[in-house]
Amino acid sequence: MKDSCLPNLHRLRERSDLLRNLREFFDQRGFLEVQPPCLTTDCVIDPYIDPLRVDTREFQLIPRNGEEFYFLQTSPEAAMKRMLAAGAPSIYSLGPVFRAGEHGDQHNLEFTMLEWYELGADVEQGIEILGALACDILKTVHFEVHSYRHLFRDYCGFDPIDAELQTLVECATEIDSSLAMSLAEDRDGVLDLILSHVIQPELGHDCPVIVRDYPLSQAALAKTSVQDKQCAARFELFVAGMELANGYDELRDPDELLTRFRACNEKRKKSGRRTLPLEIPLLKAMQVGLPQCAGVALGVDRLLTVQLGEKNISTVMPFTILNA
């Protein structure tokens, strides 16, 4: 029997090659590589992503402002935006992030994230550099861009934003009736169920596909789209039916950011999750002023999985949470 404590070295060379190629892609475009902290008081609030907390008593130091907890970062986003607000140029980061409760074919509690911010870029330039990166790494000659609304119309026969909620629930019921009923009052939850089961499996088999202009209710930290006021300037990359990256024309309004964080905390409470602190360093940096930029976060382990034709990210990771 194979010793579960031994690291998986099966794809070690391919992983090393990918990390080097990712760095070369951004180095050649004038980005600076930065190393954001894994452990900070910052915590970007998401309704469904749970950060790991570390009690400051473990530090054997006196917290600077009396904080009880620091957070292992679910993304380097907050620290990188603080760098941009302080005057950094276009930057990228390549390193570990952490999300509680995540384990499966496409998830692990600790994984490697590539995140970048292009100074002065908007959603169009954000999509262009993401598509160029996908083509460069996956050795394809082109990528496709489709709007969220058009994909729902093509695959499901209705507009995801204008359709009645009952129409969405009826479609979701054909996928999983019990789950559809539990989500019946959550429009975005129902849309996510349909997207992940009906549309996503069909995307990115011939070439990388970028889906753009998500409903404004799913804006996260993206601006409102200038093309469609019912949508957000948010985009995602799909390859071989797998979601690899999420990008925004970044929101720069600190008041709107606080409003969205409060709404996320309300959703967290309703789902039984712990609320997260609102007065974080990122918000203060946004009040100083975040420059115009587009940002993207990409899962490196997933990218390597589809690059090598694997099905499970554990096949391309030396360690998962089960043998770390």
Residues linked to residue 97 through DSSP beta bridges, in sequence order: 111
Q: Give the integer Cα–Cα distance in Å for 306 and 92.
A: 22
pLDDT of 1 over the 50 cut: no
Percent of the chain whose pLDDT exceeds 90 = 90
Per-residue model confidence (pLDDT) at position 81: 97
pLDDT at 276: 94
Average pLDDT over residues 34-59: 93
Burial of 254 (0-12, 13-18, 19+ CB in 10 A): middle
pLDDT tens per residue across span 271-295 = 899 999 998 899 989 999 999 999 9
Query: Could you report the per-residue pLDDT of 172-218, keeping only the tens digit for each?
Result: 999 999 999 999 999 999 999 999 999 999 999 999 999 999 999 99
Mean pLDDT of 124-143: 98
| Weakest-pLDDT range from 138-152, 205-219, 272-286, 306-320 | 272-286
Q: Binning pLDDT at 50, 70 and 90, where does residue 3 land? A: low
Q: What was the pLDDT predicted at 2?
A: 53
Domains defined for the chain, CATH in brackets:
12-143+207-316 (3.30.930.10)
CA distance 17 to 31: 19
Predicted confidence at residue 61, as pLDDT, reads 84
Distances (CA, A) of 153 to 186, 203, 216: 20, 15, 17
Instruction: Return d(Cα 82, Cα 68) in angstroms, integer.
Output: 22
pLDDT in tens, 90-111: 999 999 999 999 888 999 999 9
At 4 the pLDDT is: 72
Enter the pTM of the model.
0.95
Residue 246 is predicted with a pLDDT of 98
Q: How much is the pLDDT for 114?
A: 98
